[in-house]
Amino acid sequence: MSADPVTLKASQIGELAVYAAVNALCAEMILPESFRPVILLPPGSEEERLREIMDQICRVCAAEGLVIEGGHTEVTSAVTRPVVIGSCTGTPMERGSEGSGQDAGQIIMTKWAGMEGSCILAEDREELRETFPETILMRMRALRNYLSVRREAQICVGQGAEYLTDLSEGGIHAALWRLSVKTRCGFVVDTPAIPMLQETIEFANHYDIDPYRMRSVGSLLAVTKDAGSLIGKLEESGIPAVRIGELTKDHDKILRNEEEIRYLDLPQPDELLRIIQ
């Protein structure tokens, strides 16, 4: 079972709540089957807003094959904007066995860092229309169709991946820290290898924020013995993936950019919080 709250001010909060709970469960190698939402609304909320949130939840649950098993809605002065807490339950995925690789701690990453944050900004920030053409904003809004890691998690587990970690709040840097805690290992990651869309970089530059610390729901980290084989399987299913680094036996968390070396700090607050309150 997984439970995740979405407290960010976002128009698609219902969708994001489902993806957050689904991806957290998939990262534990559990196949999601059911979903329960708790929706907290501030006094004065319109019924239309509640219907929008539930429509979003129902739409994503249908796409993910989830049954909505009850839930709870409450109007309370404890919140100043809608909050959705999603709980997801499921059963273990069927695990496969990996081939014999030389390096047991290869780290691969699917899709792109900062994709969820880019989608939220394109959806909700009107000022971006003054700087970016509508075609770019539409392309970033379309990332909402890629926010589930269900399919890639199944492939990774089926190929015998040893560990999974989903990207969420705090972006790729926070996810790497969680992976280190889960594996009890350090890592060396090549920062230039981390996949990121050019539009995400441009959005980050526009707001002067760090895209590596921006919400990245929709991407997955996997530890494998054979990165090449797993990447090939993912790409056969249309899921982009690259190797970004490897685990190490010590506890150093190293981000490498050619000759420059830096050590990853404790996870910091998500960069979107500097823009969206």
| Claim to verify: residue 82 and residue 210 sit in the same structural domain | no
101 belongs to a structural domain: no
Q: Give me the residue label for tokens 């998939």.
A: 26
Domain that holds residue 26: 2-92
| Claim to verify: residue 82 and residue 8 sit in the same structural domain | yes
| Claim to verify: residue 176 and residue 78 sit in the same structural domain | no
Which stretch of DSSP H or E encloses residue 74?
A: strand 72-75
Q: Would you state the pLDDT for residue 95?
A: 84
Number of structural domains in the chain: 2
Q: How confident is the model at residue 174 (pLDDT cuts 50, 70, 90)?
A: very high
194 belongs to a structural domain: yes
Q: How confident is the model at residue 129 (pLDDT cuts 50, 70, 90)?
A: very high
CATH number of 229's domain: 3.90.650.10
Domain boundary among 92, 114, 141: 92
Q: How confident is the model at residue 96 (pLDDT cuts 50, 70, 90)?
A: confident
Q: Would you state the pLDDT for residue 206?
A: 96
14 belongs to a structural domain: yes
| Claim to verify: residue 185 and residue 261 sit in the same structural domain | yes
Domain boundary among 92, 116, 136: 92
> Residue 94 and residue 65: Cα distance in Å, rounded?
17
In the chain, count H helices and then E strands: 8, 12
| Claim to verify: residue 267 and residue 162 sit in the same structural domain | yes
Per-residue burial over 189-205, b = 16 or more CB atoms within 10 Å of its CB, e = otherwise? bbbeebbbbebbebbbe
pLDDT for residue 142 is more than 70: yes
Residue 221: phi and psi, rounded to 5, are -105, 140
Q: Are 136 and 119 contacting, i.e. CB atoms less than 8 angstroms apart?
A: no
Q: Report which of residues 102 and 121 the model is more confident about.
A: 121
> Residue 69 and residue 10: Cα distance in Å, rounded?
24
Q: Tens of pLDDT along 185-219?
A: 999 999 999 999 999 999 999 999 999 999 999 99
Is residue 220 helix, strand or coil?
A: strand
| Claim to verify: residue 139 and residue 77 sit in the same structural domain | no
pLDDT for residue 259 is more than 90: no
84 belongs to a structural domain: yes
Q: Would you state the pLDDT for residue 101?
A: 47
Please give the angle made by the CA atoms of 153, 243 and 173, to the nearest 5 degrees.
Answer: 80
| Claim to verify: residue 77 and residue 115 sit in the same structural domain | no
Q: Are 114 and 171 contacting, i.e. CB atoms less than 8 angstroms apart?
A: yes
68 belongs to a structural domain: yes
Q: Would you state the pLDDT for residue 104?
A: 62
Q: Tens of pLDDT along 40-73?
A: 999 999 999 999 999 999 999 999 999 999 999 9
Q: How confident is the model at residue 99 (pLDDT cuts 50, 70, 90)?
A: low
100 belongs to a structural domain: no
Q: How far is CA 214 from CA 169, 173, 175, 199, in A?
A: 7, 9, 11, 13
Q: What is the mean pLDDT of the chain?
A: 94
Q: How far is CA 174 from the centre of its chain?
A: 11
137 belongs to a structural domain: yes
CATH number of 74's domain: 3.30.1330.10
99 belongs to a structural domain: no
| Claim to verify: residue 80 and residue 147 sit in the same structural domain | no
| Claim to verify: residue 151 and residue 225 sit in the same structural domain | yes
